[in-house]
Amino acid sequence: MKLKLHWQIVIALAFGLLIGFMSRGLGFESFMIDRVSILGTIFLRGLRMVIVPMIVSSIISGVTSIGTAQNLGRMGLKTFAYYVTTSLLAIITGLIMVNLIQPGVGAQVGLQATPEGIAANAAKIGETLLGIIPTNPLEAMVNGDILPTIFFSLLFGFFITQSPDPYKTQLTDLFSGIFEVMMKLTHFIIKFTPIGVFALMAKTIAQTGFDVILPLAAYMVTVILSLGIHAIVTLPALLYLAGLSPLKHAKAMSSALLTAFSTSSSSATLPLTMESVEKNAGASNKTSSFVLPLGATINMDGTALYECVAAMFIAQAYGVDLTFGQQALVVLTALLASIGAAGIPMAGFVMITVILGAVGLPLEGVGMILAVDRILDMMRTCVNVWSDSSGTVIIAKSEKETGLQVLRDVST
């Protein structure tokens, strides 16, 4: 039987640790740092290769999946408000936790950023915000400027839904087709994760010894605790306030949540999420087919939170103190990055470079957190699906649907 990917990654991680450590003892660390690390670089380049086409096709196909323009009225607004509110709540939870725990501070991980580079970028916050509106969308895509690419794709997708047939159908099909191909391509690259993890871990350990382990563990704890707060406190509070029972809803969603955990993909889980929300939680197909497909690609609370913690952790590890303004920029870019990330494994990881770029941190910082990404991916995907499904029942309740089976105090 073939070993599951996450087990392969765990083994690669252990090997990376071992070989990296041995290389220090036996004096071949420069071989690991200069040569073997190339495998990691190849892997990261592969992931970055898919970013732009993935974002464009995922957003456009997500937005067009909401279908006809009639749908876009009241329910569209509610859905959008829910997405943005919960994602922001998640990010802020992460931001508070990462500032409290400070997992990266004092980490001796051999990372250095030039203060001039940071300062030069820090001055550009206003520009980054303005730059969200591209003067030339193709240029933005070609240069890999993610925020304007996301902005343009959202608009483009929206106006496809507003166009007459046959163009609407043609374009919807075209972008769904491209999205399908990009998901396959990304899955192909992800098969090589164990090699990337091995190479990057071995390199890091060869460079720094075990100094990296402690901060990395603290970083994982920070992400997991923050995800826990969002999933167990914040979202249930919203469900409760809406008159719904978080416990009943969690039970209704259990198989979808487990699938999200084991596949690390909201998109792959989507059919199950829809079935559970309709059959077990009792939301109507009208609401779930509106909220869930779009949510699977653009509403990612877990990913948004993780983006923020990861970027802040990398900043801390580089010894960079981000100002309030820069942290606000991290929050905003984390939100957009989570919107831009597709519902497939590691999409969130790839998007961290967007945030690092926005605040002027070196992109290589992501190499450090790759090793532990898969396990965090499983958890954040779970939170993503949990938020999508909670949003569906909250909106169904606000639309006065009668079939809901997860009400707080049903006496019937």
Question: Which is closer to ligand ASP, CB of 343 or CB of 360?
Answer: 343
- Other CB atoms within 10 Å distance of the CB of residue 17: 19
Beta bridge partners of 244: 407
Q: How far apart are CB 79 and ligand ASP at their closest, in Å?
A: 17
Question: Which is closer to ligand ASP, CB of 104 or CB of 348?
Answer: 348
Query: Measured between alpha carbons, how far is residue 402 from residues 78, 124, 193, 237 in Å?
Result: 19, 51, 46, 22
Which tokens hold the place of 304? 């948004």
Query: Measured between alpha carbons, how far is residue 157 from residues 36, 50, 59, 123, 409 in Å?
Result: 42, 19, 7, 32, 40
Which tokens hold the place of 334? 């984390």
Q: How far apart are CB 349 and ligand ASP at their closest, in Å?
A: 6
DSSP 284: -
Question: Which is closer to ligand ASP, CB of 113 or CB of 219?
Answer: 219
CA-wise closest residue to 218 among 113, 354, 107: 107
3-state SS class at 197? helix
Residue nearest to ligand ASP (CB): 348
Q: How far apart are CB 225 and ligand ASP at their closest, in Å?
A: 17
Q: How far apart are CB 304 and ligand ASP at their closest, in Å?
A: 9
Q: How far apart are CB 51 and ligand ASP at their closest, in Å?
A: 12
- Other CB atoms within 10 Å distance of the CB of residue 111: 22
Q: How far apart are CB 42 and ligand ASP at their closest, in Å?
A: 20
Question: Which is closer to ligand ASP, CB of 196 or CB of 348?
Answer: 348
Rounded to 5 degrees, what are φ and ψ at 271?
-55, -40
d(CA 132, CA 118): 20
Residue entry with tokens 């532990």: 372
Question: Which is closer to ligand ASP, CB of 303 or CB of 326?
Answer: 303
CA-wise closest residue to 109 among 204, 217, 218: 204
Q: How far apart are CB 398 and ligand ASP at their closest, in Å?
A: 25
d(CA 51, CA 363): 14
d(CA 382, CA 118): 34
Question: Which is closer to ligand ASP, CB of 278 or CB of 388?
Answer: 388
Which spans of this chain sit near ligand ASP (rule: CB under 6 A)? 264-266, 300, 303, 341, 343-349, 377, 380-381, 384
Question: Which is closer to ligand ASP, CB of 278 or CB of 377?
Answer: 377
